[in-house]
């Protein structure tokens, strides 16, 4: 319940995670390997690789292989000091990662450390895009700016004007413009060539994500649960109610037909772009889906979310390509399965993406909670805590753990990388503590 590991530059070759095919149905399992929520997913232009970024501070490069999915993890990329919030491919095969530490890393395939690091943002970076010709990288950050970085030189352009967090960036199909969206409910279309001012379109709700079709149409997802369609010239051309809660991830199929929109509750909606018709809603696990992307065939969708799994979905059926259990971890760490009917287990289930109840923490974003009561903060052997936490004088007791969730990690444990979350209900905090008393001391 503290911080995630700080990044050490290392390259870890994962054990091959075989993903099975079943004849013509192309059935295959999920990609498992992250120790925390999957924040970002991208597919390479040639369709042969996937890169994913996670709250566990790592990015994983997956090889899709000649039969669509061989399921091998080529490498785990560790550099960022905090969550990896955004990933992208350049058209020459290099990879780009960005994160909570406000840095961008450019990676060459097969190398242990970034070939180049871009710094300048003053707050977490949450969005990346590569220009069609591969010469520019766009980034959006919570310092209210977007930036254009030259891949070949040190040139950088700062795009200022958003009044709140910039949550999404996307290049126009011709590469002559950049679209940014922010929590200020503004969509801006920036000319890359020349000094013209951006076109500004104000929408009814804060904007979390954006994508652009090959014909120039702009699609953005909003906090009101709607997907808005904007013409290349900046005119609103339609909207679809995709969910009851904020849309936090959105993707366009390469053939331009489909829009996939995911909500903070886990709803996964498929919209036919030209007709603005809701085609179907996928049966999601009921947890936030943080990232979505299409494979190059435009018929398969990948999602990454809170449970740390990358799932494939069939566009035709709206169902997982291969039926699989919804829990990320084995039964001892699935509290509802291990403690059926326990109210505290239900509250704790939000923690399983980052913490284990077992002695071996595995590849998790946070330390094991085994034996947490009576332990001083930041003292579990084998876990790489941040220096700020090591300076705190906190002993984990039912009272201090309850206080952590009452006022939030950033207030109670300054310097933590733990995602900000509070449990406002005193009753929920109490049943969680009672559950942890049992679960962290069981034989």
Question: Each residue of 420-438: pLDDT tens digit?
Answer: 667 888 998 999 999 999 8
**What is the overall mean pLDDT for the chain?**
83
Which one is predicted more confidently, 210 or 22? 210
Question: Each residue of 60-75: pLDDT tens digit?
Answer: 898 875 544 445 678 8
Which one is predicted more confidently, 171 or 323? 171
> Mean pLDDT throughout 275-295?
80
Band of pLDDT at residue 97, cut at 50, 70 and 90 = very high
Is residue 105 pLDDT above 90, yes or no? yes
Is residue 338 pLDDT above 90, yes or no? no
Residue-level pLDDT at 429: 92
From 2.30.29.30, 1.10.760.10, 1.20.200.10, 3.40.50.1820, which CATH number describes the 331-439 domain?
Answer: 1.10.760.10
Is residue 167 pLDDT above 70, yes or no? yes
Where is mean pLDDT largest: 55-69, 179-193, 357-371? Answer: 179-193
Residue-level pLDDT at 13: 23
Question: Each residue of 181-192: pLDDT tens digit?
Answer: 999 999 999 999
Q: Of 26-35, 80-89, 182-191, 220-229, which gets the smallest average pLDDT?
A: 26-35
The two domains 10-314 and 331-439 share their CATH topology (first three levels equal) = no
Is residue 332 pLDDT above 60, yes or no? no
Domain ranges within the chain, ordered by starting residue: 10-314, 331-439
Considering the chain, what percentage of its residues have pLDDT values greater than 90? 54
Is residue 409 pLDDT above 80, yes or no? yes
Is residue 165 pLDDT above 90, yes or no? yes
Query: What is 10-314's CATH superfamily?
Result: YVTN repeat-like/Quinoprotein amine dehydrogenase (2.130.10.10)
Residue-level pLDDT at 272: 95
Is residue 336 pLDDT above 90, yes or no? no
Band of pLDDT at residue 288, cut at 50, 70 and 90 = confident
> Mean pLDDT throughout 386-391?
86
> Mean pLDDT throughout 297-315?
86
> Mean pLDDT throughout 363-373?
80
Is residue 253 pLDDT above 80, yes or no? yes
> Mean pLDDT throughout 272-300?
83
Q: Of 89-93, 143-147, 186-190, 193-197, which gets the smallest average pLDDT?
A: 193-197
Is residue 276 pLDDT above 60, yes or no? yes
Secondary structure, 3-state, the chain: CCCCCCCCCEEECCCCCCCCCCHHHCCCCCEECCCCCEEEEEECCCCCEEEEEECCCEEEEEECCCCCCCCEEEEEEECCCCCEEEEEECCCCCEEEEECCCEEEEECCCCCCCCEEEECCCCCEEEEEECCCCCEEEEEECCCEEEEEECCCCCEEEEECCCCCEEEEEECCCCCEEEEEECCCEEEEEECCCCCCCEEEECCCCEEEEEECCCCCEEEEECCCEEEEECCCCCEEEEEECCCCCEEEEEECCCCCEEEEEECCCCEEEEECCCCEEEEEECCCCCCEEEEEECCCCCEEEEEECCCEEEEEECCCCCECCCCCCCCCCHHHCHHHHCCCCHHHHHHHHHCCCCCCCCCCCCCCCCCCCCCCCCECCCCCCCCCCHHHHCCCCECCHHHHHHHHHHCHHHHCCCCCCCCCCCCCHHHHHHHHHHHHHHCCCC
Considering the chain, what percentage of its residues have pLDDT values greater than 70? 81
Is residue 365 pLDDT above 80, yes or no? no
pTM of the predicted model, to two decimals?
Answer: 0.71
> Mean pLDDT throughout 214-230?
96
> Mean pLDDT throughout 211-218?
96
């Amino acid at each position: 319940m503290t911080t995630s590991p700080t990044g050490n530059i290392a390259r870890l070759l994962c054990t091959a995670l075989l993903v099975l095919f079943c004849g013509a149905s192309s059935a295959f399992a999920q990609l498992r390997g992250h120790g925390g929520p999957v924040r970002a997913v991208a597919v390479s232009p040639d369709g042969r690789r996937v890169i994913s970024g996670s709250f566990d501070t790592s990015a994983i490069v997956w090889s899709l292989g000649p039969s669509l999915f061989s399921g091998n993890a080529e490498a785990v990329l560790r550099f960022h000091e905090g969550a990896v919030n955004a990933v992208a491919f350049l058209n020459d095969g290099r990879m780009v990662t960005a994160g909570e530490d406000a840095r961008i890393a450019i990676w060459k395939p097969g190398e242990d450390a970034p070939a180049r690091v871009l710094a300048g943002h003053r707050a977490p970076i949450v969005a990346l895009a590569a220009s069609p010709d591969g010469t520019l990288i766009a980034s959006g950050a919570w310092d209210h700016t977007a930036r254009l970085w030259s891949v070949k030189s040190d040139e950088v352009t700062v795009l200022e004007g958003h009044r709140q967090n910039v949550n999404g960036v996307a290049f126009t199909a011709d590469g002559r413009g950049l679209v940014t969206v922010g929590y200020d409910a503004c969509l801006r279309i920036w000319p890359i060539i020349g000094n013209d001012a951006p076109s500004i379109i104000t929408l009814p709700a804060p904007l979390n994500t954006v994508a652009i079709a090959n014909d120039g149409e702009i699609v953005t997802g909003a906090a009101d649960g709607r997907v808005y369609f904007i013409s290349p010239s900046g005119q609103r051309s339609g909207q679809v109610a995709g969910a009851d809660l904020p849309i936090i991830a959105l993707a366009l199929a390469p053939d331009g037909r489909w829009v996939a929109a995911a909500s903070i509750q886990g709803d996964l909606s498929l919209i036919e772009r030209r007709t603005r018709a809701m085609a179907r809603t996928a049966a999601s696990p009921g947890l936030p889906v943080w990232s979505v992307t299409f494979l190059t065939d435009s018929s398969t969708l990948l999602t990454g979310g809170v449970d740390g799994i990358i799932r494939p979905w069939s566009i035709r059926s709206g169902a997982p390509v291969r039926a699989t259990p919804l829990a990320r971890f084995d039964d001892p760490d699935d509290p509802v399965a291990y403690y059926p009917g326990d109210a505290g287990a239900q509250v704790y289930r939000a923690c399983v993406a980052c913490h284990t109840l077992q002695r071996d923490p595995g590849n998790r974003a946070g330390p094991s909670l085994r034996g947490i009561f009576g332990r001083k903060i930041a003292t579990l052997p084998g876990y790489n805590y941040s220096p700020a936490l090591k300076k705190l004088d906190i002993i984990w007791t039912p009272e201090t753990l309850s206080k952590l969730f009452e006022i939030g990690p950033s207030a109670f444990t300054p310097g933590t990388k733990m995602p900000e979350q509070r449990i406002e209900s005193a009753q929920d905090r109490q049943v969680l503590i009672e559950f942890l008393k049992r679960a962290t001391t069981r034989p």
